[in-house]
Amino acid sequence: MPHKTIAVVIPCYRVARSILDVVRTLPVWVDAVYCVDDACPEKSGQLICAEIRDPRVRVLFHERNQGVGGAMITGFKAALAAGHGIIVKVDGDGQVDPGLLPRLLHPIVSGTADFSKGNRFYDLQALRQMPLARRIGNFGLTLLTKVASGHWHISDPTNGFVAIHHAALRMLNFEKLSRSYFFETSLLIQLNIIRAVVTEVPMPARYGSERSSLSVWRTLIGFPPKLVAGLLRRLMWRYFIYDTNAVTVLLFVGSLSLAGGAAFGFYRWHEGVIAGQVQTTGTVALALLPVIVGIQMLLQAWLLDIVNMPAAPLASRIHDTWESNG
C-alpha cells in the first residue's frame, strides 16, 4: 500500500567484503532494498545479483562514481517513485547492526519526527570502541555542523544511519544536496530550511578491520568552507525567502551596523596614518559603537536561531500521517 512501506537504500562502493552480510541481515519486515552500485571497482552490484535471491532487493548501477550523496539520491528517487513511506540509509560496510532499525524508525512511525538518525556518543563504552582518528574528526566537526545546520541538539552529525519520512523527502531539493561525503550535513541543512523535525536515537556502532574511505584530515580541511556556504544558504532561505521574523531584522541590521562601523573605523585609521594624525577618542567611540551594537544583534539572532525549533513534524502539518501496516 502506498506510503505504508519501508525501504532501505544502501550505497555500495568498495564494500564487497561486507555487503552480502548487510543485505542478508536486514529484517524481514523491510519491504524493499535498493543497493546502489556507485561504479564500485569491486563490482559489489554484480556480487549482490549473483548471490542474493531476495525479491525485495533491487540493484541500481552508476556508470561513473557519483559519491555517497549521488548514490543516495538515486536510491531516494527510486524509493519515492515506488511510493514507500519511510526510507532508511544503511551503509554497506557493516558498521551498524540492522537489528537497531526499530529504534531508528520509532520516532517517525510514532509521528514525533520527520527525520531520525543514530547517535554513537550516548554510550561512553561504545564511544571508546570508535577509532581515535574518527573520534577526533567527529568531535572537531560537530560544533561547526551545529552552527551551519541549525540543529543544535544533534551531536553526531556525520552518522550515516538515518531514516526519513517521504513527506519531508519530497520537499527536499535534490540538486542542492552534496554528492560527496558532505551529504549528511547538506541533508541536515535542507531539513532545517523546510522546518522538518529532526531527532537522534542512542546507537552504538560496530568497528571492524575495514578502513573508512573518508579521510579525517581531508574532512577537517574540506568541510569548513562548505559549512560556511551551507550556513549562508540556510540563513538566506530560512529567514529572507521562506519567512521573515525577528531573526531577519537582527541579521540585516546587525550586519549593516557591524560592517558600517568597521568600514568607518578603517577609513579614519587609514586617513590618520596618511596624515600622521592620531584619531580622537570621540572618533574611536563613533566607530566602536556600531560594531558593538552589530555584534550584540548578531548574537541575539544566533540565540533565537538556536531556540527556534519546529513545533510539529511536516507530515502532521500537511495531513500525511503515518499509519501502521497492522
DSSP string, 43-96: -HHHHHHHH---TTEEEEE-SS--HHHHHHHHHHHHHHHTT-SEEEE--TTS-S
pLDDT at position 159 is: 85
Q: Is residue 317 part of a domain?
A: no
With a pLDDT cut of 70, the percent of the chain lying above it is 88
Determine how many CB atoms are found less than 10 A away from the CB of residue 265: 18
Q: How many helices (H) and strands (E) does the chain have?
A: 12, 7
Q: Is the same domain home to 18 and 61? A: yes
Closest by CA position to 184, among listed 232, 233, 136, 219:
219
Among residues 189, 218, 240, the one where a domain terminates is 240
Residues 192, 153 contacting (CB under 8 angstroms): no
For 262, the domain range is: 244-307
Among residues 240, 264, 283, the one where a domain terminates is 240
Q: Is residue 121 part of a domain?
A: yes
> Helix, strand, or coil here: 324?
coil
Q: How far apart are the first and last CA of the chain?
A: 12
Q: Is residue 234 part of a domain?
A: yes
Q: Is the same domain home to 128 and 202? A: yes
Query: Residue 280 has what DSSP assignment?
Result: P
Q: Count the domains in the chain.
A: 2
C-alpha cell at 148: 551551519
Bridge partners, 198 (sequence order): 115
Q: Is residue 324 part of a domain?
A: no
C-alpha cell at 3: 506510503
Instruction: Round to whole Å and give the CA distance between 5 and 51.
Output: 25
Q: Is residue 316 part of a domain?
A: no
Q: Is the same domain home to 177 and 227? A: yes
Q: Is the same domain home to 274 and 174? A: no
Q: Is the same domain home to 26 and 82? A: yes
User: Is this prediction's pTM over 0.85?
Assistant: yes
Q: Is the same domain home to 79 and 226? A: yes
Query: Residue 234 has what DSSP assignment?
Result: H
pLDDT in tens, the chain (326 residues): 456 899 999 999 999 999 999 999 999 999 999 999 999 999 999 999 999 999 999 999 999 999 999 999 999 999 999 999 999 999 999 888 888 999 999 999 999 999 999 998 876 776 676 677 667 767 777 888 999 999 999 888 878 899 999 999 999 999 999 998 889 999 999 999 999 999 999 987 665 555 555 555 666 677 888 999 999 999 999 999 999 999 999 999 999 999 999 999 999 988 888 888 888 899 999 999 999 999 999 999 999 999 988 888 987 877 544 444 43
Q: Is the same domain home to 152 and 203? A: yes
Q: Which CATH number fits the domain that encloses residue 51?
A: 3.90.550.10
Instruction: Round to whole Å and give the CA distance between 4 and 253.
Output: 47
Q: Is the same domain home to 170 and 185? A: yes
